[in-house]
Each structure stands twice: as structure tokens, then as C-alpha cells.
Amino acid sequence: MSIERTLVLVKPDGVSRNLSGAVLARIEAKGYTLAELKKVDATREQLEQHYAEHAGKPFYEPLVEFMLSGPVVAAIFEGDRVVEGFRALAGTTDPTTAAPGTIRGDFGRDWGLKVQQNLVHGSDSVESAEREIGIWFA
């Protein structure tokens, strides 16, 4: 057993489409435990820290602007191997091609050159999770 924590964000597209509950329900149904939950208007500073690895990439500024376009729902989930478990639930980055059965694959698609509208963020490693939890739940 390796009990981990992961940082989940329901992005502005998921919140504005009233899908926050559906997303959280899938994570709980998988057997992960909700530890913290809040709705938050992200700041540019938070997003620059959160997405620091992507600074300078062509999609970085549109991504930050998108994340500022409305509230997000931030959650910490706990469980055995929850980091990779949630990434599997979320599906691959591009919602158009994410596998059906995943959050991105079932609820998302490319609404017009907007891969960033893929409903959810999930930490990609235990180390990333701890860093990101510090940004959103300081």
C-alpha cells in the first residue's frame, strides 16, 4: 500500500457546465477519499506557479487566460496510488481523442482549437501533487 494525495482541479469549463459534481462523483465512486474541497477564483500568480513547467510554450498564455476565465473547483483526494489512478480516470490531454469512459473522453471535446478545455487537472506525480497542494491549499 502506498497512500498518496493528489490535487484535482475542475477547470472553468467543467464548473460552468455544472459538471463539478459529476466529476467528483466519479472519483469517489472509484474509491478515493475526498480530503479537501473548495471553489476558488484562481489568481494569475497561482496559475504561474501551478503551470511553471509550461512557461514559454505556445499554449501557456491561452491556458492561463482560460484558467482565469471563471472559478475552478480544487480538491485533494487521497488513496492508494491515487495519483496515477486519477490520471487514468481523467484520460489523455486532448479531450477529442481521450478514451470514452474517461472524464475527458465522456464530457469533453475540442470546441475549436482549445485543447485546454479538458475539464480537469490532475497531478502527474507524488512530488507534483505535494507542490500543487501547497499552491491551492496554502
Pick the catalytic residue from 5, 26, 50, 121: 121
- Of 5, 26, 50, 121, which lies in the binding site for ligand DAT, with binding defined by CB under 6 A? 121
Neighbours of 11 (CB within 10 A): 25
Q: Look up 121 and say whether it is catalytic.
A: yes
Residue 63 contact among Mg ion, ligand DAT, none, beta carbon within 5 to 8 Å by kind: ligand DAT
Contact code string over 61-100 relative to ligand DAT, x by CB under 6 A: --x-----------------------------x-------
C-beta of residue 67 within 8 angstroms of C-beta of residue 11: yes
Return the range that interacts with ligand DAT (CB under 6 A); candidates 1-9, 22-30, 114-122, 126-134: 114-122
Amino acid (1-letter code) at residue 69: S
Alpha-carbon span 138 to 133, nearest angstrom:
7
Closest CA to 40 of 77, 6, 78, 68: 68
